[in-house]
Every structure is written in structure tokens, then in C-alpha cells.
């Protein structure tokens, strides 16, 4: 206690407790990059206070509006997998890397955009350009509409995913196979290329069989 000039365990019985001043909460990098005409909404609250977020328009966004590039860490394996988000990869220096966002300070706001599960709700298309991933609007987006994304045709081939929405019992678009837990890469015995999952390796080896 500065008033008593004594070191005490706990609060001073004569002068009482200290007045605590807390630090201001600073938003994450991803939240700070959100354009002013977009907003984040909490769609669901899961165990452990985990928030499921969506990105919504605050005003009309014109067709052919480009967002990006997507910011993430280049990685040969995913450390964070979310079934409601697109898995994204880029080609850099001859290698194929995931755009990994293990936390909100490793990416920008585009990490919050959820995948579209049918053509009606799709508002964005994801594609690769010069080693970066961008999202572009495929139609005008009205206020209070959630931004949802799916792969462009060429990028879907690169990601080994479907470029179209296939009507299934669950009406869910098939995502490219990705290991949910970090694992050692699968290595092609013919060309030594590495893959995050056995399914990707098996698909790749079909190329060697056709030669």
C-alpha cells in the first residue's frame, strides 16, 4: 500500500482495495479490416462461448464488386477447419498451399464469409489470380443479405471440388477432402509431391496411371 508504505498480501485493511482500470478491448485484425458497408452478425453461440458469425451487407453492393485478396498463412496443412467456410489453396513457387487462418489476427474479414450451399444463396464467387484468392459478387446484394461464396469453375478444378451445386438429400455442396486434424503430408512415390490427405494423393496418382 503506497499510503501505508507497506507490502501487503491482499488489500489494505486501512485504505481498502485499489481501483482497477482495465485495458480497452481491441478488435482483432480480421474485424478491423471489415469494409464500412458490411457488418458481422452472430448467428449461433456454441459451447465454450464460440460464436458462429456471418457477413451481411449494410447497403446495396453492385454486381462485379471484387473483394480481396484473402489474407491467411501459407501452410501445407490446416490448423483450423470449419465446415461452414470454404477451404482455400493457392499456387506459390510451384507448390500448393492452404490459406490457413488459425485465429482472427492471422487473416482479414473474408475469413468470416460462409460457404453457399445452393445457387440461390450464393452471392460471391472465389477464384485465384496471380497467387491470391479474391471474392467477386455474382449479383447485386441487397441490404441485410448475407454474403456467401462458392468456387469459380476453374478454381473448383484446382481445388478438386464441384463447380456446381448438386442436389443431394442434405442439399449440401461437396467440399474438397481436407483433414480436420493436422497430419504429416502424404507423399507421391512417383514425383514426391505432398498432399494433405490420402484422398488428394489418390486423385493425383491417377495422372501417373494415365501416362
Question: Does residue 88 sit in the same domain as residue 145?
Answer: yes
Question: Does residue 186 sit in the same domain as residue 116?
Answer: no
Q: In this model, does residue 143 exceed pLDDT 80?
A: yes
pLDDT score for 6: 83
CB count, 10 Å around CB of 113?
Answer: 24
Domain that holds residue 161: 29-165
In a domain, 49, yes or no: yes
In a domain, 12, yes or no: no
Report DSSP letters for the chain, one per residue.
-TTTT---SSSBTTTBPPPP-PPPPPPPHHHHTS-TTEEEEEEEEEGGGEEEEEEEESS-B-TT-EE-----EEESS-S---TTS---EEEETTEEEEEE-SSTTSS-GGGGPEEPSSTTT--EEEEEETTEEEEEESS-B-TTPBPEEEE-HHHHHHHTS-SS----TT--PPPPP--SS--PPEE-TTT--EESSHHHHHHHHHHHHH-
pLDDT score for 179: 43
Question: Does residue 46 sit in the same domain as residue 68?
Answer: yes
Domain count for the chain, please give it.
2
pLDDT score for 211: 54
Q: What tens digit of pLDDT does each residue of 75-124 get?
A: 998 887 788 889 999 998 888 999 999 889 999 999 999 999 898 999 99
In a domain, 23, yes or no: no
In a domain, 131, yes or no: yes
Question: Does residue 133 sit in the same domain as residue 51?
Answer: yes
Q: What is the CATH number of the domain that holds 67?
A: 2.170.270.10
Please indicate whether residue 69 or residue 27 has the higher confidence score (pLDDT): 69
Q: In this model, does residue 167 exceed pLDDT 80?
A: no
Q: What is the mean pLDDT of residues 115-139?
A: 94
Question: Does residue 141 sit in the same domain as residue 210?
Answer: no
Q: What tens digit of pLDDT does each residue of 37-73 get?
A: 999 999 887 666 778 899 999 999 999 999 999 999 9
Instruction: Record the pTM.
Output: 0.69
Of 165, 186, 202, the one marking the end of a domain is 165
Question: Does residue 198 sit in the same domain as residue 123?
Answer: no
Amino acid at each position: 500500500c503506497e499510503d501505508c508504505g507497506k507490502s501487503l498480501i491482499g488489500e489494505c485493511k486501512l485504505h481498502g482495495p485499489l481501483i482497477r482500470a482495465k485495458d480497452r478491448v481491441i478488435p482483432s485484425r480480421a474485424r478491423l479490416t471489415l469494409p464500412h458497408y458490411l457488418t458481422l452478425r452472430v448467428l449461433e453461440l456454441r459451447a465454450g462461448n464460440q460464436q458462429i458469425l456471418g457477413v451481411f451487407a449494410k447497403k446495396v453492393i453492385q454486381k462485379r464488386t471484387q473483394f480481396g485478396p484473402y489474407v491467411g498463412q501459407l501452410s501445407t496443412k490446416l490448423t483450423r477447419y470449419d465446415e461452414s467456410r470454404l477451404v482455400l489453396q493457392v499456387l506459390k513457387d510451384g507448390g500448393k498451399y492452404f490459406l490457413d487462418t488459425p485465429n482472427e489476427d492471422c487473416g482479414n474479414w473474408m475469413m468470416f464469409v460462409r460457404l453457399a450451399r445452393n445457387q440461390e444463396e450464393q452471392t460471391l464467387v472465389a477464384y485465384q489470380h496471380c497467387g491470391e484468392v479474391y471474392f467477386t459478387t455474382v449479383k447485386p446484394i441487397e441490404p441485410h443479405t448475407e454474403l456467401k461464396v462458392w468456387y469459380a469453375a476453374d478454381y473448383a478444378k484446382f481445388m478438386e471440388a464441384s463447380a456446381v451445386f448438386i442436389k443431394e438429400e442434405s442439399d449440401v455442396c461437396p467440399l474438397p477432402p481436407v483433414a480436420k486434424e493436422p497430419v504429416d503430408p502424404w507423399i507421391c512415390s512417383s514425383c514426391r509431391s505432398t498432399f494433405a490427405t490420402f484422398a488428394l494423393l489418390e486423385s493425383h496418382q491417377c495422372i501417373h496411371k494415365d501416362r
